[in-house]
């Protein structure tokens, strides 16, 4: 314990800080639960926010993804995540633990090394393939081919804080049934805006990144996908391929209908501290 912590502990400040932190989490949980259970907007059963659950996703994406596939069914239970980080927090780790398999792409070498070490049992079982690469429009299809990604598969998640729009646009030869994409909520529900393509782009934590929800919606319409919802914290949007959408989601499939304003203050992790031993135990269960 350093001097600052020692003094703070002596004065009771650390206990007070921890108490305030716990109180904040309770208030956030109560606010979210009240909104999703009492706000008339979210009482419509075809909206997706009421199904949010956080397992390994940043927010409630895990629950939304599960609900989408409850409605449309599964085919090959194959996922691809572009920007998968180290697997501790993404949109497909929960799917991996639920018996799926797939492909992770990540640019950060340290995160890839960590993922390869801690998911080695899944790698050995060939349930998971991990590739370290800075993804661009020029290499994305080559990377997919190298991993033998099926032309049609169940789920694609793209979160690379920059060229997400352009990467999806380039993948015309691949037809995932469901997509999750991070959108830039700074531009509201009706403005078209896309960051110009730059193969070397890295997000600088400003509003100059990604694409607006309206631009994603228009691109989806052109590519044969419909916008079916966003998560409550206003980070990710979800698309379902037109041929499998049926009447299972809430029209109109527009950004004006499904936009959620960014609520960055709602970010928090539920449950216990995450431990990589969870994945080793899950992989061994798969072997039985």
Q: pLDDT tens, 16-61?
A: 877 787 777 777 777 787 888 889 999 999 999 999 999 999 999 9
Is pLDDT of 209 > 90? Answer: no
Give the model's pLDDT for residue 200. Answer: 87
Q: Please state at what angle helix 13-38 crosses helix 3-10, rounded to 10 degrees.
A: 80
Give the model's pLDDT for residue 281. Answer: 78
Mean pLDDT of 173-185: 97
* Residues 6+ away with beta carbon under 8 Å from 85: 106, 108, 111, 115
For residue 227, whether the previous peptide bond is cis, meaning omega lies within 30 degrees of 0, is no
- CA pair distance 106, 134, nearest whole angstrom: 7
Is pLDDT of 97 > 60? Answer: yes
Mean pLDDT of 218-240: 97
Give the model's pLDDT for residue 141. Answer: 97
Q: How confident is the model at residue 64 (pLDDT cuts 50, 70, 90)?
A: very high
- CA pair distance 287, 55, nearest whole angstrom: 22
Q: How confident is the model at residue 1 (pLDDT cuts 50, 70, 90)?
A: low
Is pLDDT of 251 > 70? Answer: yes
Give the model's pLDDT for residue 9. Answer: 62
Mean pLDDT of 123-143: 97
Q: How confident is the model at residue 63 (pLDDT cuts 50, 70, 90)?
A: very high
Give the model's pLDDT for residue 19. Answer: 78
Closest by Cα among 95, 84, 103 to 149 = 103
Closest by Cα among 108, 118, 121, 113 to 159 = 108
Mean pLDDT of 104-109: 97
Mean pLDDT of 106-135: 96
Mean pLDDT of 246-262: 97
- CA pair distance 59, 55, nearest whole angstrom: 9
Tokens of residue 164, six digits: 């997400």
Give the model's pLDDT for residue 221. Answer: 98
Tokens of residue 84, six digits: 């998968």
179: three-class secondary structure by DSSP: strand
Q: Which residues are 230's β-sheet partners?
A: 237
Is pLDDT of 8 > 60? Answer: no
Mean pLDDT of 155-179: 95
Give the model's pLDDT for residue 2. Answer: 67
Share of the chain above pLDDT 70, in %: 92
Residue-averaged pLDDT of the chain:
90
Q: How confident is the model at residue 285 (pLDDT cuts 50, 70, 90)?
A: low
Q: How far is CA 44 from CA 215, 229, 233, 251, in A?
A: 25, 12, 18, 11
* pLDDT: which is higher, 197 or 19: 197
Mean pLDDT is lowest, of 147-156, 204-213, 261-270, for 261-270
């Amino acid at each position: 314990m350093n001097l600052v912590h020692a003094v703070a502990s002596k004065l009771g400040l650390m206990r007070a800080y921890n108490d305030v932190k716990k109180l904040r989490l309770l208030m956030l949980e109560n606010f979210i639960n009240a909104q999703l259970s009492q706000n008339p907007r979210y009482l419509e059963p075809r909206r997706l926010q009421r199904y949010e659950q956080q397992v390994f996703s940043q927010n409630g994406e895990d629950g939304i993804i599960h609900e989408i596939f409850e409605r449309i069914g599964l085919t090959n239970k194959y996922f691809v995540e572009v920007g998968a980080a180290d697997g501790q927090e993404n949109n497909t780790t929960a799917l991996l633990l639920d018996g799926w398999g797939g492909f992770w792409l990540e640019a950060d070498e340290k995160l890839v090394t960590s993922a390869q070490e801690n998911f080695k049992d899944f790698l050995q079982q060939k349930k998971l393939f991990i590739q370290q690469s800075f993804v661009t429009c020029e290499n994305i299809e080559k990377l997919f081919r190298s991993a033998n990604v099926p032309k049609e598969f169940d789920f694609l998640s793209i979160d690379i804080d920059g060229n997400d729009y352009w990467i999806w646009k380039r993948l015309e030869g691949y037809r995932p049934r469901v997509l999750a994409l991070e959108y830039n909520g700074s531009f509201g529900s009706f403005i078209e805006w896309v960051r110009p393509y730059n193969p070397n782009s890295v997000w600088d934590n400003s509003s100059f990144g990604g694409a607006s929800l309206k631009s994603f919606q228009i691109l989806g319409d052109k590519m044969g996908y419909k916008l079916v919802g966003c998560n409550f914290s206003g980070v990710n949007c979800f698309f379902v391929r037109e041929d499998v959408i049926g009447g299972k989601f809430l029209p109109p499939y527009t950004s004006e209908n499904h936009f959620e304003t960014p609520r960055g203050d709602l970010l928090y992790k539920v449950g216990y501290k995450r431990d990589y031993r969870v994945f080793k135990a899950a992989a061994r269960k798969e072997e039985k």
